[in-house]
Protein backbone atom coordinates (compact mmCIF):
# COMPACT_ATOMS: atom_id res chain seq x y z
CA UNK A 1 0.00 0.00 0.00
CA UNK A 2 2.75 2.49 0.89
CA UNK A 3 4.55 1.72 -2.35
CA UNK A 4 1.41 2.71 -4.30
CA UNK A 5 1.38 6.10 -2.58
CA UNK A 6 5.03 6.87 -3.31
CA UNK A 7 5.30 9.94 -5.54
CA UNK A 8 6.72 9.61 -9.00
CA UNK A 9 10.37 10.76 -8.89
CA UNK A 10 10.13 12.52 -12.26
CA UNK A 11 7.02 14.42 -11.20
CA UNK A 12 8.63 15.38 -7.91
CA UNK A 13 11.67 16.76 -9.77
CA UNK A 14 9.45 18.70 -12.20
CA UNK A 15 7.40 20.16 -9.35
CA UNK A 16 10.57 21.19 -7.54
CA UNK A 17 11.94 22.86 -10.69
CA UNK A 18 8.58 24.62 -11.20
CA UNK A 19 8.45 25.83 -7.59
CA UNK A 20 11.98 27.21 -7.64
CA UNK A 21 11.72 28.73 -11.12
CA UNK A 22 8.35 30.41 -10.66
CA UNK A 23 9.23 31.61 -7.15
CA UNK A 24 12.43 33.15 -8.47
CA UNK A 25 10.74 34.68 -11.50
CA UNK A 26 7.33 35.82 -10.24
CA UNK A 27 7.27 36.42 -6.51
CA UNK A 28 9.82 39.29 -6.32
CA UNK A 29 7.72 41.29 -8.80
CA UNK A 30 4.81 41.37 -6.38
CA UNK A 31 6.45 43.04 -3.40
CA UNK A 32 4.37 46.17 -4.00
CA UNK A 33 2.59 45.50 -7.29
CA UNK A 34 -1.17 45.75 -7.70
CA UNK A 35 -3.40 44.72 -10.60
CA UNK A 36 -5.67 47.54 -11.79
CA UNK A 37 -7.96 46.88 -14.76
CA UNK A 38 -5.73 43.99 -15.84
CA UNK A 39 -2.54 46.06 -15.72
CA UNK A 40 0.23 45.61 -13.19
CA UNK A 41 1.54 48.77 -11.57
CA UNK A 42 3.35 49.69 -8.39
CA UNK A 43 1.42 50.74 -5.30
CA UNK A 44 2.94 54.20 -5.46
CA UNK A 45 1.77 54.69 -9.05
CA UNK A 46 -1.71 53.45 -8.13
CA UNK A 47 -1.90 55.87 -5.19
CA UNK A 48 -0.62 58.76 -7.32
CA UNK A 49 -3.12 58.02 -10.11
CA UNK A 50 -6.00 57.74 -7.67
CA UNK A 51 -5.27 60.74 -5.42
CA UNK A 52 -2.91 62.86 -7.49
CA UNK A 53 -5.23 65.80 -8.15
CA UNK A 54 -6.84 66.13 -4.72
CA UNK A 55 -5.79 68.75 -2.17
CA UNK A 56 -6.41 69.42 1.51
CA UNK A 57 -8.47 67.12 3.69
CA UNK A 58 -9.79 65.25 0.67
CA UNK A 59 -6.22 64.32 -0.27
CA UNK A 60 -5.40 63.03 3.22
CA UNK A 61 -8.57 60.93 3.34
CA UNK A 62 -7.99 59.64 -0.18
CA UNK A 63 -4.38 58.72 0.60
CA UNK A 64 -5.34 56.78 3.72
CA UNK A 65 -8.15 54.89 1.97
CA UNK A 66 -6.10 54.21 -1.15
CA UNK A 67 -3.09 52.96 0.85
CA UNK A 68 -5.35 50.53 2.73
CA UNK A 69 -6.91 49.42 -0.54
CA UNK A 70 -3.47 49.01 -2.14
CA UNK A 71 -2.30 46.82 0.76
CA UNK A 72 -5.37 44.63 0.33
CA UNK A 73 -4.78 44.39 -3.43
CA UNK A 74 -1.10 43.49 -2.91
CA UNK A 75 -2.10 40.67 -0.53
CA UNK A 76 -4.64 39.37 -3.05
CA UNK A 77 -2.06 39.45 -5.84
CA UNK A 78 0.46 37.61 -3.68
CA UNK A 79 -2.10 34.88 -2.99
CA UNK A 80 -2.80 34.57 -6.71
CA UNK A 81 0.89 34.19 -7.45
CA UNK A 82 1.35 31.72 -4.60
CA UNK A 83 -1.51 29.59 -5.93
CA UNK A 84 -0.01 29.71 -9.43
CA UNK A 85 3.37 28.65 -8.09
CA UNK A 86 1.88 25.84 -5.97
CA UNK A 87 -0.55 24.64 -8.67
CA UNK A 88 1.37 21.49 -9.75
CA UNK A 89 1.78 20.35 -6.16
CA UNK A 90 -1.88 21.00 -5.38
CA UNK A 91 -2.99 19.12 -8.51
CA UNK A 92 -0.80 16.22 -7.49
CA UNK A 93 -2.24 16.09 -3.98
CA UNK A 94 -5.88 16.58 -5.01
CA UNK A 95 -6.06 14.27 -8.05
CA UNK A 96 -3.08 11.96 -8.38
CA UNK A 97 -2.74 10.69 -4.82
CA UNK A 98 -6.41 9.69 -4.47
CA UNK A 99 -6.30 8.00 -7.89
CA UNK A 100 -3.24 6.00 -6.86
CA UNK A 101 -4.97 5.03 -3.63
CA UNK A 102 -8.00 3.76 -5.55
CA UNK A 103 -5.74 1.77 -7.88
CA UNK A 104 -3.90 0.27 -4.90
CA UNK A 105 -7.18 -0.67 -3.21
CA UNK A 106 -8.46 -2.27 -6.42
CA UNK A 107 -5.24 -4.26 -6.79
CA UNK A 108 -5.49 -5.44 -3.19
CA UNK A 109 -9.14 -6.45 -3.69
CA UNK A 110 -8.18 -8.49 -6.79
CA UNK A 111 -5.48 -10.32 -4.84
CA UNK A 112 -7.80 -11.15 -1.95
For the stretch 18-70, pLDDT in tens is 888 888 887 777 778 888 888 888 888 998 888 888 888 888 899 999 999 99
pLDDT digit string, tens, across residues 71-97: 998 888 888 888 888 888 888 888 877
Reported pTM? 0.65
Question: What is the per-residue pLDDT for 1?
Answer: 46
**Per-residue confidence band for 3, with pLDDT thresholds at 50, 70 and 90:** low
Mean pLDDT, all residues of the chain: 83
C-alpha closest to that of 34 among 50, 23, 21, 22? 50
C-alpha closest to that of 19 among 109, 90, 95, 112? 90
CA 27 and chain centroid, separation = 9
**Long-range contacts (CB closer than 8 Å, 24 or more residues apart) made by 61-67:** 67/43
Amino acid sequence: MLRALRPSPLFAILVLIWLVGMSWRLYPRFADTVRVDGRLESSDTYIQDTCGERIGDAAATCLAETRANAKRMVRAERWRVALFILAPLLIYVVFYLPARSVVALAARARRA
